[in-house]
Amino acid sequence: MIELKQLTKTYGNKKKATTALSGLNLTVKKGEIFGVIGHSGAGKSTLIRCINLLERPTEGEVWVGGVELTKLKRRELQQQRRKIGMIFQHFNLLSSATVYDNIAFPLKLMGVPKLQIAAKVNELLELVGLTQHQKKYPAQLSGGQKQRVGIARALASDPDVLLCDEATSALDPQTTDSILNLLLEINRKFHLTILLITHEMHVIQRICDRVAVIHQGGIVEEGPVTEVFLKPRHTVTREFISRELAGDEGFRQTSSVPLPAWARLVRITFLGAKTYESVLSQVVRETGVNFAILQGTISTIKDTPYGQLTVSFEGDNAKVDETLELLRQRDLDVEVIG
């Protein structure tokens, strides 16, 4: 649905050029929720603005729905942009227009008849839960309500793609969760492709199918959220996850505790239904090794439950090796960390 090929964006002239994106490649599949996470200045906002050509790339190609946007003339580009909805961090609503008129605005620009506009706006008001607020102005709304107006407005032209530029970073945690639930509902109901950028790992964990980590204008890690969360490879990814997952903090606390020289320190990761099964206790009963759970966490990544344990195994080395192998045979991820 979205394909970026060797995308480069440079600001300034040759003597004082600043490169925001450098040879970036990215593919987003139809119907998925794809997250891009990175620190401030990593190139996130430039990336998302290049997709709908609010920023024109210096080099590279932007494909959306099988159409190369970077080759289109102005009028053709305007037509294609109708298939790309966008919601913003600070809402970008018309302050002098009501909720109803804010949502209707793109339809009026398209010349849609008044009766069709009314039907569409009322449908969207119900979808985002703002039917009772349609005559209010933005100043009379909460942050979460303003973002719901922004979402409804972005959906007015029936887009194939929804771009979200830090859509929840200006909201409190409870409101953030309600907006994420709404985006998830929209994705499932309309099979709408959603690409969102954020600096919050919680957002990625809650609703995304896949994630890319952007750093210094390039993608440094990419994959299914479960894989990136549970087995991060890049330093930047580990930084984000260590802030989000209690497991990493717990490990830092317990890793300073002196262990017997013969103990084996192991991180065990459970995914899916196995998160709630007594696999560890079953295996150690078979092998007879002693163990102590030093730290543990259970949570979910989108709809997938997972668990992580930091465990100290004590006993005969051969028996400990057998225990770890039996755990692996039961489809658990086992990593010796000390």
User: Mean pLDDT throughout 238-246?
Assistant: 75
What's the pLDDT score for residue 20? 92
Residues 275 and 298 sit within 8 Å (Cβ to Cβ): yes
Q: How far is CA 254 from CA 155, 249, 306, 324, 338, in A?
A: 48, 9, 21, 21, 12
Q: What is the pLDDT of residues 142-194, one digit of tens each?
A: 999 999 999 999 999 999 999 999 999 888 989 999 999 999 999 999 999 99
> What pLDDT does residue 298 have?
86
Give the whole-number percent of the chain exceeding pLDDT 70. Answer: 95
Range(s) of the chain covered by CATH 3.30.70.260: 245-336
Query: How many whole angstroms separate alpha carbon 200 and alpha carbon 36?
Result: 10
Q: What is the pTM of this model?
A: 0.87
Instruction: Tell me which range, 9-18, 203-212, 252-261, 271-280, is most confidently predicted by mean pLDDT.
Output: 203-212
245-336: CATH topology: Alpha-Beta Plaits (3.30.70)
Separation CA 33–CA 197 (nearest Å): 11
Indicate whether 326 pLDDT > 90: yes
Strands 193-198 and 33-37: parallel
- Determine whether 101 is exposed, middle or buried from the number of CB atoms within 10 Å of its CB (0-12, 13-18, 19+): middle
Start-end of CATH 3.40.50.300 domains in the chain: 2-236
Identify the band that residue 259 occupies on the pLDDT scale cut at 50, 70 and 90. Answer: low
- For position 254, what pLDDT does the model report? 45
For the domain 2-236, what is the CATH code? 3.40.50.300
Residue bearing the bigger pLDDT, 175 or 295: 175
Give residue 125's pLDDT. 97
Instruction: Provide CB contacts within 8 A for 108, sequence distance 6+.
Output: 117
Mean per-residue pLDDT, 108-112: 93
